[in-house]
Structure 1
Amino acid sequence: MSDPADVLVVGASAAGLATAEALRRKGFEGALTVLGAESHQPYDRPPLSKQVLSGVWEPDRATLRGPEQLASLAAEFVLGDPAVSLDAEARTVHTASGRVLRADAIVVATGLRPRTFAGQDGVAGVHVLRTLDDALALRAGLLTATRVVVVGDGVLGTEIAATARTMGLPVTLTGPQAAPLESQFGPLIARRLAELHTERGVEPRLGAAVTSLAEQNGHVTGVHLATGEVLPADLVVVAFGSTPATDWLAGSGLKADNGVVCDSSCRAADGVYAVGDVARWHHDGLGTLLRLENRTNATEQAAHVADAILGERRPYTPVPYFWTDQFDVKLQVYGVPSADAEVTVVEGDMAQGRFVARYRRNGITTGVLGWRMPKQTRLRRQEVVDAFQASPSGGTS
């Protein structure tokens, strides 16, 4: 199979940039175009909720590559022009400005869009956090806010709550779970995370969903809980999840169902691939469709997609990995932890604030979680790798 003459990457994200870089690194010499909805050069998203939001980093520090590194790719970056439609069969993309871009191979890397409340766009003091511009707007709001409510008890919500609290603000964390990330980590770890936030001054109001925003004269004044209570705030961050940015793919010929549905090599259609947060591919090691929202996967999957474009198609079967930094605690997670798994502390001591927990289901290790123990957590990763390799559904890379 000959290499494509040209490749179009739709999404100037970390995953999109990593795909372009991997193609060049693996010897692709054809035309390469990266199309981005934002006007910014590709930047890293994990620092947005922490270093950029707190002001520890200047915004430019989140940029992934400098001008010389980008120039060395010999790629055309078309920025500030969102894709609005795709014809998968013709491998043609139309943009908001009217551009028509065609390529032998197309990579969809359009990422996620934050979930929002109906009508929130017209209410001052309400923020989401997905883009660099979002982070800068939220930081500006935090610098003058007097009372903050974070709506969302997942990774992003807890990170934002921690950052806002380190800036000295009164912060209330809300969400329907009994403790932060309980549905992902289970009650044991979630309770410890709730304790961490409480110890550092975050006020948890968990166990009741936020049903709507309260506002007066066009400015937010708080949030309504399902209990009927109103929590006052002059700044609200809406962080209760995201959805894959696939609306522009309507009528494209691709299947979009909680992401762009792909085969085990991340191929969505002949000559069309998906990568990063938007990709939902068949993980042969787990025997199911999987979509991962983390920075590590963006890089690893990009290299795999580059191989597939260049003719080396094989199953993509990573051991999932992500981390989150909250206050001075780094949590690292390998595998697929779940709330219904048996959780055992296998290293360290929860009471001392340094430990590794192992997740097991039906006697098989499905995940490990480290709390301030990076080296030991990496070593325990092998247990997850071994379990993946022993799975009758397939192996791991």
Structure 2
Amino acid sequence: MTVSQQGFVIVGAGMAGAKAAEALRGSGFDGTITVLGDEAHRPYERPPLSKDLLLGKGERDDIFVHAEDWYREHDVDLQLGTEVTAIDRGGRLVEIAGGGVRYDKLLLTTGARPRTLDIPGATADGVLYLRQLADSERVKETLDRVSRLLVIGSGWIGLEVAAAARQADVAVTVLGTSELPLLRALGPELGAIFADLHRSHDVDLRGGVSVSEITTADGKVTGVRLADGTEIAAEAVLVAVGAEPNTRLAEQAGLRVDNGIVVDAGLRTDDPNVFAAGDVASAFHPLLGKHIRVEHWANALNQPTVAAANMLGNQTEYDELPYFFTDQYDLGMEYHGYVDPGRPHQVIFRGDVAAREFIAFWLADGKVNAAINVNTWDVGDPIKSLIRSTKPIDPAALADPNHPLDSFA
């Protein structure tokens, strides 16, 4: 069978699935492409859900990966509202209600889902999550009508929603189990900066606390009770305590799963006909020499091109540095690289930290592993070159703004 006669199936109709279909057609593949998604909406980008769309700065139509006609024009069979029930690897069949779709190559872009709380009141009216478009619209509607919001979780989503709420003049309390927000992602030095940012906008930020109950009256949220008995009033509660990869189909199909679907640098699973990309993929990174799973937009954007190439029989590796960004109040930030949470690092600042216009670098063994640029722009390329060089760097020179960044690589 020639490649042009083959049928490829993509399970997951998010950004990664849409970009994979685009990459396949862009590479000249003229076999069948079927994209199966359980949401009612065509593929869209997720960052606006907690940023511009929530702030009322963006239009709903702007979030979609492709125009509505794109799938028909490129002969992509997009099946929305379709739940995949199982994968039969022996028969190369993706099972759906009432039938199945056969494949020669299969790409899993099933993404992740929010972690939920198993405490009293967790299903009450007024408990919110933010992952899908409908969630964002519900949060936006809530911010338009309430005066007090409580956020459980001090990670990226929790802080971005807190910022949107404050800009909507909603009083906000943020509760985190760590003493500082973003502690695992950024460490104490940067966590303190984000804590100061939110407190300067009158967010009641509390760290090192645990929620034992979401309190209710007549089935509706009234606030929370902490483990120490403290009660905090709120009209709505956003739960933002992380996400879990959607690996059920892969596990049931006997694929290797370990904090995501395990794939090599070419995004292949241990089945040569099955690939995975995006939030669900735990991919081997050639530069880092280990498997990592990154729940951010850049992977959903870039990994599908590599997966598509290898589905077509090429030998390509995904070696892009992890990247993510956030916008909160007047703070814009980009992050490049990877910091192993279990490894000691030295943090070097370059610029004006007090004015929140700086770059911070994470060094281990004298080498830059990652960097964050805050309200400092057009530095991504030299930062990435610096990380990729893996050469020892003089910390004093790195901290000196008069020492050009591109001179280090």
Coarse TM-score class (shorter-chain normalised)? over 0.9
> Offset of 1:120 from its aligned partner?
5.5
> Counterpart of 1:383 in structure 2: which amino acid?
L
- Aligned-residue offset at 1:287: 1.6
List alignment gaps of at least 5 residues for structure 2. Answer: 392-409
Q: Of the candidates 293, 301, 313, which is equivalent to residue 291 of structure 1?
A: 293
- Tell me, in whole angstroms, the C-alpha distance in 2 between the residues paired with 1:172 and 1:188: 22
Q: CA–CA distance in 2 between the matches of 1:378 and 1:284?
A: 19
Give the aligned residue type for 1:386. Answer: S
Q: Is residue 111 from structure 1 mapped to residue 114 from structure 2 by the alignment?
A: no
Q: Distance in 2 between matches of 1:272 and 1:75?
A: 19
**Does residue 348 of structure 2 align to residue 344 of structure 1?**
yes
- Tell me how far apart the structure 2 counterparts of residues 65 and 288 of structure 1 sit (CA, whole Å): 33
Residue number in structure 2 paired with 1:375: 378
Equivalent pair of 1:356/1:376 in contact (CA under 8 Å): no
Residue in 1 that maps onto 2:356: 353
* 4+ residue segments displaced more than 4 Å: none
- DSSP-derived class of the 2:390 partner: helix
Measured at CA, do residues 138 and 99 of structure 1 come closer, stay the same or move farther in structure 2, by a change above 3 Å?
A: farther
User: What is the count of residue pairs matched by the alignment?
Assistant: 388
1:300 pairs, out of 299, 302, 317, with: 302
Query: Percent identity at matched positions?
Result: 34
2:139 corresponding residue in structure 1: 138
DSSP-derived class of the 2:307 partner = helix
Residue number in structure 2 paired with 1:331: 333
Partner SS state of residue 29, structure 2: coil
Contact persistence 1:366–1:384 (CA under 8 A): yes
Q: Is the 8 A contact 1:221 1:233 kept in 2?
A: yes
**1:313 positional shift:** 2.3
Contact 1:153-1:174 within 8 A present in 2 as well: yes
Contact 2:261 2:276 in 1 (8 A): yes
Q: Which amino acid aligns with 2:31?
A: G
Aligned to 1:33: 34
> Which runs of structure 2 are paired with 1:60-75 in the superposition (5 Å)?
60-75=61-76
Change in CA separation of 1:253 and 1:41 when aligned onto 2, cut-off 3 Å: same
Check whether the contact 2:113–2:131 (CA below 8 A) recurs between aligned residues.
yes
Task: Find the aligned partners of 2:380 and 2:174 in 1 and give their Cα distance.
Answer: 28
RMSD: 2.0
The answer as to whether partners of 1:211 and 1:225 remain within 8 angstroms in 2 is yes
Say if 1:22 and 1:306, in contact at 8 Å, map to a contact too. Answer: yes
The correspondence of residues 198-237 of structure 1 with structure 2, limited to 5 A, is 198-237=199-238
* Distance in structure 2 (CA, Å) of the matches to 1:270 and 1:71: 29
Alignment of 1:230-269 (within 5 A): 230-268=231-269, 269=271
| SS of 1:122 mapped into structure 2 | coil
Deviations 1:65-94 (CA, angstroms, capped at 9, x unpaired): 112333332100000112121122322111
**Please, which of 281, 284, 288 is the counterpart of residue 283 of structure 2?**
281
Three-state SS of the structure 1 residue aligned to 2:379 is helix
Partner of 1:166: 167
Q: Deviations over 1:53-76 (max 9, x none)?
A: 222223222122112333332100
Q: Which one scores higher on RCO, CA 8 angstroms, separation ≥ 6?
A: 1
What secondary structure is seen at the aligned counterpart in 2 of 1:64? Answer: coil
- 2:126 match: 125
Asked if the contact 2:71/2:78 (under 8 Å) is kept, the reply is: no
SS for the counterpart of 2:256 is coil
Compute the displacement of 1:198 (Å). Answer: 0.8
TM-score (norm 2): 0.90
Query: 1:282 touches 1:289 (CA, 8 Å); kept in 2?
Result: yes
TM-superposed CA distance for 1:132, in Å, is 0.2
Partners of 2:18 and 2:115 in 1: CA distance: 25
* Distance (whole Å) between structure 1 residues aligned to residue 240 and residue 363 of structure 2: 30
The alpha-carbon deviation at position 33 of structure 1 amounts to: 0.6
d(CA) in 1 for partners of 2:101 and 2:71? 21
